[in-house]
Structures are given as C-alpha cells and as structure tokens.
Amino acid sequence: MGRGVQEHTNRLLSGLTGIGRVHRIDGLPHEYYGGELNQSVEEILANAGLTSIDSRLSRSTALAFSAIQELLENVDFGGGKRCALINATSVGGMDTTEQEYLRNRESWDYTRFLQHNLGQINDRLCAHYGWNLFNTTMSTACSSAANAMMLGARLIRSGQYDQVIVGGTDALSNFTMRGFESLMIYDAELCRPFDDTRAGLNLGEAAAYVLLESEQSARERGHTANVRLTGWANANDAFHATASSPDGKGAVLSMTQALEVANLQPEDIDYINAHGTATPNNDLSESIAIKQVFSEVPVFSSTKAFTGHTLAAAGAIEAVFSVLSIEKNLAWANLNWTTPIADTGLVPALETTSLEINHVLSNSFGFGGNNSTLIFSSI
C-alpha cells in the first residue's frame, strides 16, 4: 500500500487494495494473490535512507528497518529514558534461507542461514542504532505483534520501563504461501473477509512499530499523546493446532478480558478492527464471538482485504489503523464483501464510514487458539 502513515491513510481513504499478483518469489507452482511490496531489499533500504546498511538482509529485517526508521524520524526515543524493544515475527529470515538453499551447495554462504533465526532482526536493529537495551522477540503466529504490545504495556505499567518500541515484521516466502495452501485456506482470488463466499486468505508482507510510553515520561519531554492503549488480553481456547474453536470461546475471553482491563462496557466500543482473515473457520468463529460479547454489534470491518494477512505484523499494522480511526473518526471499509455469513448475518462496514470514535477494539488471533485483543481510546 505504500511506505509510511500518510501513504497508507491515502490508500485506506481511496478504498484501493494493496493486493495483486505475487511476482518476486521463485518456485511457486502457480500465480498467487498477495500484498507484495514490489521492491528488492536494496530498494527497501534505499527508500528509507538506509543505504549504509549491508543489503544482504532478509526481507523481514529490511522491512523492520524501514518502519523503525520512520518511527525514529517522528518520535523522541531514548534521551535518558528506560527503553526496550519488543519485536514480533513468524517468518524471520525464511526468504533468505530459501534463496541460499537453491544455490549450489558447494557455494553456499553459510552466514546467510544465520538470518533464519527470529532474533536476528533485533540483533541487526540494535547493532545499527547502537541500542544497548532490553529486547525480545514474540512469535505466537498471527497474534504476535498484539502480544508484543501487550508485553510492552505491562512493562510500562509495572514501572520497569518508560518507553517501549513494539511491533512486528514478516515477509512473504515460498514456504508460508505453500503452507497455507496445503491447509486449503489460501484463496486463488482476492480475499473476501466476512463474506459468505469467502474461500481463504491472501498473505501480505509488511512491518509496523509504535512507541508506547508512560504518561509521566511523555509529560517530562513535553509530548501530549492523543490515543492511549487502555485494554489488552490474551486467551487460548486450546481447540486445534490451526483452527479457531467453532463457538469462539477464546475470542470471547480475549475481548471480554480486554474490556475489563480498559474498564469499559461492550457498548462503549465504537469500532471493531476485526481479525477477519477471510478463512471459512476464522470469520465464522469471530462473528459468533462478536455476537456473544456485543448485544448490539458496533461498526466493524477487516482491513486485511487492503493489506493481505501479514502474519506476525498484522496486530501492529492494525494498531496503527485503529489509531488512525480515532484520530480521523473513520471506520475503514471491508473490501470485496457482498453477502452476509448465513449463520450470523453480520454486515461489516461496506465503505469507509464517518462516525465519532472514542474506543476501538482490535482483534488478532493466531494458530493454536492464541487470541489477543487490544483496545485503543481517545484522550
């Protein structure tokens, strides 16, 4: 969809998806739809003004550098504050491993395989920026970035840190695309979240990060925030290795517990940024859960029809979209929708909708029934 908050805002407002045919991955058996960034690692770094960095990076790492660089250009990170970094990824350096493996074994560059390690992304970021701080990596599938935010919030609330960069990054790879197709949940056409004809997801690649900061720390540096992370929760329904429970039990738990942390009632939520992967199982399960939690379902939509499902990065990207919703009083459109799911009858926002938004609930659900919910509120 672009680089940076403004380019993404423009695309959301225009209703134009970032999903198209995937071209940059070798060895795929047929054409796939996906949210692919049509840039090389070198181009990703150059567009972020990071030409001094060794370009022999994984795409996930390059995407992380691009997003982190934009963040640092817009916020005051450090400056004597107690800081931390929590990154989320599930693919890690998979794309680099795939590329190297296809080469003749006699000419393998074994150092390239080291990038497969998920923690290498943090290592490269900290080395480049000279950060000597607490950092860790979250990998809980599609809920990873939401859980990174949750941990960051708890570290700040406990008084251990003043500022925590939280977010996630994942790149497209042959392995993940074929893997989702083997589960028979990769749509051969554009994905259709919450539509009765939905047939699966389209994957995407992206990175997004935000700075969480205590109120006292922000006040000391003269910064006034306009959005607060007020609620968070994680629950596991322990139903299946890859499928959500049909009764939405884990999703109900994560949403209700997040509301309790935020000290809010269901009727206080103005907009739900749903997980909405467009898979038959997820969208039905999430719809059932939403109807259980909300006697009157608020405006809701899935933005994955814009971006594709970006796996570990999804929770961070949709956190940014949730913040934008509050700042602009807009609920984003649910693209490609025509027919309600027969079992629930829920109708998402069919176009970007203007309404007063004070509280946004954002869902991120991962494999293994790892369900996470964040709530963002205006100040």
Q: Which residues are annotated as catalytic? A: 142, 275, 309
How far is residue 121's CA from residue 112's CA, in Å, rounded to a whole number? 13
Amino acid, single-letter form, for residue 312: A
For strands 163-170 and 206-213, give the pairing.
Answer: antiparallel
Cβ–Cβ < 8 Å for 352, 333: yes
Task: Work out the widest C-alpha separation in the chain, in whole angstroms.
Answer: 63
Cβ–Cβ < 8 Å for 278, 200: yes
Q: What is the side-by-side strand order in the sheet with 359-366? A: 227-236, 370-378, 359-366, 271-273, 299-301
Choose among 140, 125, 5, 104: nearest CA to 58. 125
Choose among 345, 306, 350, 312: nearest CA to 331. 350
Tokens in use for 368? 């293994």
Tokens in use for 98? 């795939």
How far is residue 230's CA from residue 232's CA, in Å, rounded to a whole number? 7
Q: What is the side-by-side strand order in the sheet with 203-204? A: 20-21, 33-35, 203-204
Cβ–Cβ < 8 Å for 66, 53: no
How far is residue 252's CA from residue 299's CA, in Å, rounded to a whole number? 17
Q: Which residues pair with 84 in a beta bridge?
A: 134, 164
Angle between helices 314-328 and 5-14 (to 10 degrees): 70
In the three-class reduction of DSSP (H, G, I as helix; E, B as strand; rest coil), residue 148 is classed as helix
